[in-house]
Amino acid sequence: MDGHAERFAGRLVTAGVRHEDDTAREFESRLAESSTLAIRVAYSVVRNGSDAEDVAQEAFVRAHRAFGRLRDRDRFRAWLVRMTFRIALDWKRGHRRRGAREDAVARLRPAFGNAEHEIIDSDRAARLWTAIDALPQKLRLVVVLAAIEGHGMKDVSALLGIPEGTVKSRLFEAKRQLQERLR
């Protein structure tokens, strides 16, 4: 190999390494900014912090595989939300047979020192989760995403890829159904 070819090969290798570095850096950035979102979406289905992390992790691994077409930030987050939700539903279906799990709500809610108060809160939370589970999927995802801190209508619209008006109407309908079930 002559000097020119060597230089060319060296440049190719450098470009490849640089490309890999860029990809890794971009993925790191997406991971840092979207991990809370993924975990909360997963948690809304599996109701357990540890399981929610497992589900989110699986979603990120799959996202990494498809990262070539998910470089855009909004696209990545929208894809991640859908994928996490789907994996969480599958996970829940698969783990339902394992019997009663530890009540995640009681575990995650901070203790107020008053046992009676705690039981009431826990009961209220369980009823709310049951009501959310009973919602149709499209309403459920809207209400979960709207409940995640910092998400406005525009964010939910971008995450689900639907118009803002549709988000508003779905959220209204979801809240109405929840109110009825909690009454």
Partner 1 sequence: MTEDRDEILDELRELMAVEPTPGFEARVRNEVTRRAVRPTRPWWLAAAATCAVLVAIVATRMQPPSESARRSTKTAPIASPATPAPGVSEKPAITPVRVRLGRIAVKALPQRVEPEVLVPPDQAIALRKLMVAVREGRVVLAPVGNTDAPVVVEPLPEISPVKVEELPGASGDLKPGTESKKVGDHVPTEA
Interface with partner 1 (CB under 8 A) = 27-28, 31-32, 35-36, 39-40, 43-44, 49, 52-53, 56-57, 60-61, 64, 105, 108-109, 124-125, 128-129, 132, 143-144, 146-149, 175-176, 178-179, 182
> Of 158 and 171, which has the nearer Cβ to partner 1?
171
Compute the least distance from the CB of residue 169 to partner 1, in Å: 14
What angle do helix axes 164-182 and 137-147 make, rounded to 10 degrees? 100
Planar angle of CA 36, 82, 25, nearest 5 degrees: 55
Q: What is the DSSP letter of 80?
A: H
Compute the least distance from the CB of residue 96 to partner 1, in Å: 20
> Of 11 and 124, which has the nearer Cβ to partner 1?
124
The continuous run of DSSP H or E covering 142 comes out as helix 137-147
Taking Cα atoms as reference points, which of 28, 54, 37 lies closest to residue 159?
37
> Of 60 and 79, which has the nearer Cβ to partner 1?
60
> Of 28 and 74, which has the nearer Cβ to partner 1?
28
* Residue the block writes with tokens 């996490």: 84
The token pair at 144 is 């979960």
Compute the least distance from the CB of residue 115 to partner 1, in Å: 20
Compute the least distance from the CB of residue 72 to partner 1, in Å: 19
CA atoms of 16 and 93, how far apart (whole Å) = 42
